[in-house]
Structure 1
Amino acid sequence: MYQRKRRRPVAEINVVPYIDVMLVLLIIFMVTAPIVSQGVKVELPQGNAESLPPDSKPPIVASIDAAGQYFLNIGSSSNSEVMDLEQVSTEVGALIQLEPLRPVVVKADRTIPYESVIQLMISLQGAGVPAVGLMTDSPKEK
């Protein structure tokens, strides 16, 4: 009689589809990363300043552009809609109540009047921010 040869089950996983999916995701993230990280275009004043510690939480950045418009960037998310001073202080106050140790930084264009920066800082302190930092660019070497 004819004996049938018994086949063993194959214990291999085809990983080619997974590699294809990962490559597509990598391309998507590479294309979208620069779009997500854009912020408000501000020409910062230069100065020697100590940077935030690397282990600190991402700061809340209140920005004033060259036209005197207010913006708010929370950590890695960027909000490109124009806000008024009251909206900025209200949102930052709510965030500070949730995370009291989160740093708050003012990013203002160098051409903005000093009074606008001070008004923003006073508004933020009135919203419960214990300390407000100022963002600068590193001075260029001569």
Structure 2
Amino acid sequence: MNRYKIEAPVRSFSGESVGVQFTRGTGYVDDSTKDGRAALEYFRRHHYGVALADEKTEEERVQEMVTGAPAQRGPIAPDEPFDPAKHSVDEVLAHLGEADLSEATRVLDAEAAATKPRVGITSKREDILAAKGGAGQ
């Protein structure tokens, strides 16, 4: 059995995803069960950081192999703005919980403009914006 540390793309995410509990973007799962192995495959497919517990993530190992230099560790700084289309409803809601009014409005507008806007997000627009001190636009 191996235990894996999972790093969510949304570092502020706290909650459950694929049966794994996350706190501030970090969760742990082992490969001793079918559900654990399925969760690991899901996280790899969706670009979560996956590494044996207390080791480097796959992305850090690849960077070291390509550059020959150790990967820089530290907070994950996205290269581009948060795109709700690339995240689950839970991840988007977690991001919105941490976002300021401007960012929340931008993300909610992007979700509403999507080909298939998700009701689990769009139905909460007024409440989210009101909680941030904005009008329910």
Kindly indicate which of the two structures has a greater share of residues assigned to helix.
Answer: 2
TM over 0.5: no
* TM-score, length basis structure 1: 0.31
Computing the radius of gyration over CA atoms, which structure comes out larger, 1 or 2?
A: 1
